[in-house]
């Protein structure tokens, strides 16, 4: 059944010319190898070609030649593999070249060959002519990572695709085939690291019984080039170690972590390291003992040593501190620049609040030149309509990655020496991600971590062609629909720089009126600050001055409500309802217009999709259509509820021509 389980790796049979071109190639040439990754590369090529040629029952040639690393001369009409070519640099780098009538994949190590095999199959499945394939590729950053917010009991925090894919109960004896398929999907887009448990971590995941289970996963994923990380609860020495304290400067605590790291490395020699959420949203951390984030991170970094990495999250804000929440992470971390050990990475969310449909880039990027900074994206759509709303997130990440920090480079430049983490959107739903189009976000995350300069539109094309149909008419309709989808969500949920207006706790649906939660910064009213006179958060000098955390040129772009990009207006400014916008409309008219535009865009997407039935199997076509119907209804819910609430404050009528609230 076409239930989406195969993701973008369907390799649907080619037709016409593309098929003829592939038929002329007749063999795979590779030196016999015991290396599991190299063997995977060969079998992926074999299976991929068989599928693309549409003849899975015919045993297609897997010809292994004698010589080690046969030169291209020795092969004709074939695909060749050379996985120890030292002239091809770096982890994961590869070349795919056509020489005469042979196609050659070269890499300095087996994982490069595997990535090269997936790249070749991707090109072929997009219909590329084998005679002209010419790819030289290397990952832009060393760490391309998924963070799972999966709890050991099977519940996934902010997960909208069913229960966790990790079957901890039956591990280590039983390894679900899904664990292999998962690793393969990740490898096909270059992901090379996975933190398997929630950052809101249970200490017992570090006990021997779990280390055994994690080892089984690490062994299964190693051939796919994936290293395992564990989220560690900072209080583990107390919780499971029998110590009185978890003070990072206490010698017994240090010894405990050292022993724990040794124990894990004995089982998993290539263990990636620890991911830590500390002193954030109630999690324990070094500040419980009067120590700093650097003290905590460095203590763990010493335990791990040169075997791995400690990834320390910068997502911190406190209820006791009445500083603008958007400023707190910067205030806590920037003074520590230069104090973190070399094998510590500080992981920073794309924006300063929390994965909103739109935020400016996080001011920490570029402001800590002596610290390894990593980018954290959220693939799961906590604040963008869960899995039922269609929102392609590549344009959102591209916006942040391409932002000029004003400190001599873009956000992508800052993180390139380190990496990117994405909060996974996987679950045990048959289609993995809760909806077919959410697969595109997993795919896009991996592709951007490999190459943050890839245009979102190209990613959308690749994905749609491999996942659904390579028919040009289908692509021409689907790609624009994907490209506008995130902006549509911004418009019907939080237009013009508004943020965090989702209803409390679950973050689904509108709740701008909520203002009675004990923690002020959890109330939507904290963010919009609307009343009879106006709306927006003043983050200029007259307000919180969060603007001052950005480099002067960047702050200058945003400091004036008259000239700021309207997309960020209410993020940085509080203005009157009659504030004049560049469009000539008043702010109120513009807001209404944006909500209407968002709704209209979703209607347009649904109308486009309704015409595409001939290109998509019935099962997935219906699933997407039904989600779009939900999104159409809920976009109206967002618009109408939000407008009714703003009207209750400002007493203004809807402008003439606005879509009337039913």
Contact residues toward ligand GCW (CB under 6 A) are 149, 157-158, 199-200, 277, 281, 315, 354-355, 382
Q: How far is the CB of 355 from ligand GCW (least distance, A)?
A: 6
With respect to ligand GCW, which residue has the nearer C-beta, 361 or 474? Answer: 361
The DSSP annotation for 637-653 comes to HHHHHHHHHHHHHH-PP
Task: Decide whether 8 or 397 has the Cβ nearer to ligand GCW.
Answer: 397
Beta carbons of 499 and 527 less than 8 angstroms apart = yes
Minimal distance, residue 277 CB to ligand GCW, in Å: 5
Nearer Cβ to ligand GCW (149/577): 149
CB of 377 closer than 8 Å to CB of 423: yes
How far is the CA of 445 from the CAs of 310, 404, 442, in angstroms? 22, 20, 5
399 catalytic per annotation: no
Q: Which residue is nearest to ligand GCW, using beta carbons?
A: 354
Contacts of 657 (CB under 8 A, 6+ apart): none
User: DSSP secondary-structure letter at 566?
Assistant: G
CB of 129 to ligand GCW, least distance (A): 45
- Tell me, what DSSP letter sits at residue 290? T
Structure letter (DSSP) for residue 355: S
Residue of 153, 259, 281, 473 marked active site: 281
Minimum separation from the CB atom of position 283 to ligand GCW (A): 8
Q: Which of 469, 462, 474, 463 is nearest to 609 (CA)?
A: 474
Considering beta carbons, is residue 236 or 606 the nearer one to ligand GCW?
236
Can 438 be counted among the known catalytic residues? no
Q: Least distance in Å: CB of 147 to ligand GCW? A: 9
> How many whole angstroms separate alpha carbon 660 and alpha carbon 662?
6
Both tokens of residue 229? 């990380």
Closer residue to ligand GCW in complex, CB, 317/638: 317
Nearer Cβ to ligand GCW, position 281 or 562?
281
The residue (of 157 and 457) whose beta carbon lies closer to ligand GCW is: 157
Active-site residue flag, 332: no
| Pairing mode, strands 27-30 and 78-82 | parallel
**Could you say which of 332, 382, 589, 634 is catalytic?**
382
DSSP labels, 132-172: G-EEEE--SSSEEEEE--B-TTS-BTT--SSS-S--TTTTT
Q: Report cis status (omega within 30 of 0) of the bond before 172.
A: yes
* Active-site annotation holder among 332, 354, 438, 487: 354
143: which 2 tokens?
């760490």
Picking from 431, 394, 358, the residue whose alpha carbon sits closest to that of residue 626 is 431
Distance of CA 105 to CAs 62, 111, 384, 459, Å?
15, 12, 40, 23
- Spell out the alpha helix ranges (H) of 234-310: 236-239, 251-267, 293-304
Minimum CB distance to ligand GCW smaller for 354 or for 429? 354
Tell the smallest beta-carbon distance from residue 281 to ligand GCW (Å): 6
167 and 175 Cβ atoms separated by less than 8 Å: no
Helix crossing, 618-650 with 472-493: angle to 10°?
30
d(CA 498, CA 466): 36
Q: Do the Cβ atoms of 28 and 46 come closer than 8 Å? A: yes
The catalytic site residues sit at 281, 354, 382
């Amino acid at each position: 059944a076409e239930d989406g389980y195969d993701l973008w790796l369907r390799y649907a049979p080619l037709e016409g010319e593309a098929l003829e071109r592939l038929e002329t190639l007749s063999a795979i040439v590779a030196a016999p190898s015991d290396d599991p990754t190299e063997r995977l590369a060969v079998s992926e090529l074999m299976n991929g070609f068989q599928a693309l040629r549409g003849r899975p029952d015919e045993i297609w040639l897997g010809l292994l030649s004698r010589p080690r690393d046969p030169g291209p001369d020795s092969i004709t009409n074939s695909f060749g593999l050379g996985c120890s070519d030292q002239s091809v640099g770096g982890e994961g780098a590869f070349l795919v070249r056509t020489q005469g009538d042979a196609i050659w994949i070269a890499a300095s190590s087996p994982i490069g060959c595997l990535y090269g095999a997936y790249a070749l199959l991707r090109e072929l499945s997009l219909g590329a002519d084998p005679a002209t394939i010419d790819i030289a590729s290397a990952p832009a950053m060393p760490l391309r990572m998924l963070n799972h917010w999966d709890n050991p009991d099977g519940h996934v925090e902010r997960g909208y695709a069913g229960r966790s894919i990790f079957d901890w109960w039956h591990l280590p004896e039983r390894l679900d085939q899904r664990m292999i398929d998962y690793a393969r999907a990740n490898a096909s887009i270059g992901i090379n690291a996975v933190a398997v448990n929630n950052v809101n971590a249970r200490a017992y995941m570090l006990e021997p019984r779990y280390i055994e289970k994690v080892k089984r996963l690490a062994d299964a994923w190693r051939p796919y080039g994936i290293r395992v990380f564990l989220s560690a609860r900072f209080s583990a020495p107390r919780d499971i170690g029998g110590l009185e304290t978890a003070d990072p400067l206490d010698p017994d605590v240090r010894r405990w972590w050292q022993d724990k790291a040794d124990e894990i490395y004995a089982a998993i020699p290539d263990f990636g390291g620890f991911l830590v959420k500390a002193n954030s949203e109630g999690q324990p951390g070094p500040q419980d003992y009067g120590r700093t984030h650097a003290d905590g991170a460095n203590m763990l970094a010493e335990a791990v040593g040169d075997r791995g990495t400690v990834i320390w999250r910068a997502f911190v804000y406190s209820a006791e501190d009445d500083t603008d929440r958007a400023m707190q992470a910067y205030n806590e971390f920037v003074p520590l620049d230069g104090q973190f050990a070399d094998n510590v990475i500080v992981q920073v969310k794309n924006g300063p609040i929390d994965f909103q449909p739109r935020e400016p880039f996080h001011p920490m990027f570029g402001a800590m030149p002596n610290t390894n900074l990593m980018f954290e994206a959220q693939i799961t759509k906590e604040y963008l309509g869960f899995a039922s709303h269609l929102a392609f997130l590549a344009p959102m990440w591209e916006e942040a990655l391409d932002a000029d920090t004003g400190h001599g480079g873009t956000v992508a430049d800052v993180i390139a020496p380190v990496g990117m983490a994405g909060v996974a959107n996987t679950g045990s739903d048959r289609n993995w991600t809760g909806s077919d189009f959410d697969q595109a976000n997993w795919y896009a995350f991996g592709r951007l971590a490999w190459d943050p300069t890839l245009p979102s539109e190209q990613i959308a094309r690749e994905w749609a062609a491999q996942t659904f149909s390579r028919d040009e008419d289908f692509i021409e309709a689907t790609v624009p629909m994907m490209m506008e989808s995130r902006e549509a969500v911004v418009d019907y949920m939080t237009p013009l720089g508004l943020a965090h207006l989702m209803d409390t706790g679950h973050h689904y649906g509108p709740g701008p009126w909520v203002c009675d939660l004990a923690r002020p910064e959890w109330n939507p009213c904290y963010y919009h600050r609307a009343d009879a006179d106006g709306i927006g958060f003043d983050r200029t000098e007259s307000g919180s001055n969060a603007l001052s955390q950005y480099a002067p040129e960047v702050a200058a772009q945003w400091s004036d409500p008259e000239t700021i990009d309207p997309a960020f207006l209410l993020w940085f400014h509080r203005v009157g309802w009659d504030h004049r916008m560049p469009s000539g409309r008043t702010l109120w008219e513009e807001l209404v217009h944006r909500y209407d535009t968002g709704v209209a865009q979703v209607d347009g997407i649904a109308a486009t999709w309704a015409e595409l039935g001939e290109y998509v199997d019935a099962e997935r076509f219906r699933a997407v259509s039904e989600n779009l119907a939900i999104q159409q209804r809920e976009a109206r819910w967002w618009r109408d509820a939000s407008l009714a609430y703003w009207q209750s404050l400002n007493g203004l009528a809807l402008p003439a021509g606005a879509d009337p609230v039913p």
